[in-house]
């Protein structure tokens, strides 16, 4: 029996090691080749860089305003994530606890946004932003995560969470004279930290990786975000400069890797707590 348990444990460990290598290798390959010359990137695989060209990381800031692009992305991600949490939490609380005519129908309409890919609505959105004179600015990139599919997804998560909170807690607060907004601000939000963290992390990751939206709305180089910036490291013939793209990509994944590694447990807890598997 003990032998069988040891064999089972060994097989499981071996499977975990193999899967870990498969997932980690692409990141390691990127880091290694970000320190190689262009001719060495697609040569014979190597565990360590052959040239150790640290100048690649300096050059990416000279070819284009990469630091400005990084700041643009941080700004869009921060504002978009904050707006997503504020509006979706209020929306989720309204659908979960407030009673008003057509509540269920409006919630179904809200959920249709989850079935509406951005490619379908990008042209109407562009027309609206043109009419509002917001094209070629970062504002559309901040509004889309709040009022489109990501906002609907966060609202759904908050609604599922607020439904699980006993109504007796809300009724006791009403007896103390709190309004609906007061209950939401002083009671519901403080006990919703896990779902706030999860919704914020998922929104941040989604915003950080947006490519189509900035490609459509942004024209000037100074307003580029990181996804556009990474695709802009090309030579005079339009061919990718892989060493610079890999160096820039290595720097661009630092925030999302840090956020996910630190808060990944909160994402799992929130998914379980909101009734999703």
The rounded percent of the chain whose pLDDT value lies above 70 is 92
Q: Alpha-carbon Rg of the chain, whole angstroms?
A: 23
Is residue 275 pLDDT above 50, yes or no?
no
pLDDT of residue 47: 83
Q: How many helices (H) and strands (E) does the chain have?
A: 15, 0
Distance (Å, rounded) from C-alpha 41 to C-alpha 187? 55
User: Minimal CA–CA distance to 198: which of 245, 153, 163?
Assistant: 153
Q: What is the mean pLDDT of the chain?
A: 86
pLDDT class of 9 with cuts at 50, 70, 90: low
Q: What is the mean pLDDT of residues 252-264?
A: 80
pLDDT class of 60 with cuts at 50, 70, 90: very high
Angle at 27 between CA 22 and CA 28, to 5 degrees: 90
Distance (Å, rounded) from C-alpha 145 to C-alpha 196? 15
What are the tens digits of pLDDT across the range 61-84? Answer: 999 999 999 999 999 999 999 999
Question: Per mean pLDDT, which of 39-43, 152-156, 259-263, 269-273 is the most reliable?
Answer: 152-156
Show Cβ contacts of residue 235 under 8 Å, excluding neighbours closer than 6 positions.
241
pLDDT of residue 236: 75
DSSP at 237: T
pLDDT of residue 237: 78
Is residue 6 pLDDT above 80, yes or no?
no
Is residue 264 pLDDT above 80, yes or no?
no
More confident: 270 or 177:
177
What are the tens digits of pLDDT across the range 98-136? Answer: 888 888 899 988 888 888 888 888 999 999 999 999 988
Angle at 123 between CA 200 and CA 85, to 5 degrees: 15
User: Minimal CA–CA distance to 118: which of 200, 216, 201, 256?
Assistant: 216
The rounded percent of the chain whose pLDDT value lies above 90 is 40
Question: Is-contact 170 241, C-beta < 8 A?
Answer: no
pLDDT of residue 238: 76
What are the tens digits of pLDDT across the range 194-209? Answer: 889 889 988 998 999 9
pTM comes to: 0.85
Q: What is the mean pLDDT of residues 236-256?
A: 88
Is residue 1 pLDDT above 60, yes or no?
no
């Amino acid at each position: 029996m003990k032998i069988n348990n040891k064999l089972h444990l060994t097989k499981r460990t071996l499977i975990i090691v193999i899967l870990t290598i498969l997932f980690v290798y692409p990141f390691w390959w990127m880091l290694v080749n970000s320190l190689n010359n262009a001719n060495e990137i697609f040569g014979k695989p190597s565990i360590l860089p052959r040239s150790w060209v640290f100048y690649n990381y300096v050059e990416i800031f000279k070819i284009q305003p990469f630091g400005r692009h990084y700041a643009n992305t941080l700004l869009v991600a921060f504002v978009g994530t904050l707006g997503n949490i504020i509006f979706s939490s209020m929306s989720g609380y309204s659908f979960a606890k407030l009673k008003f005519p057509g509540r269920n129908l409006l919630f179904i309409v809200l959920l249709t946004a989850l079935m509406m890919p951005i490619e379908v609505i990008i042209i109407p959105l562009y027309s609206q932003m043109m009419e509002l004179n917001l094209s070629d600015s970062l504002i559309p990139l901040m509004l889309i995560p709040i009022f489109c599919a990501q906002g609907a997804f966060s609202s759904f998560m908050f609604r599922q969470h607020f439904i699980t909170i006993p109504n007796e807690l809300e009724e006791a607060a009403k007896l103390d004279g709190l309004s609906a907004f007061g209950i939401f601000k002083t009671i519901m939000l403080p006990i919703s930290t896990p779902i706030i963290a999860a919704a914020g992390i998922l929104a941040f990751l989604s915003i950080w990786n947006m490519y189509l939206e900035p490609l459509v709305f942004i024209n000037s180089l100074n307003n580029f975000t990181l996804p556009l910036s990474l695709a802009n490291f090309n030579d005079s013939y339009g061919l990718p400069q892989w060493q610079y793209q890999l160096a820039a990509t290595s720097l661009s994944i630092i925030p999302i890797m840090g956020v996910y590694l630190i808060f990944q447990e909160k994402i799992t807890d929130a998914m379980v707590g909101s009734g999703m598997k």
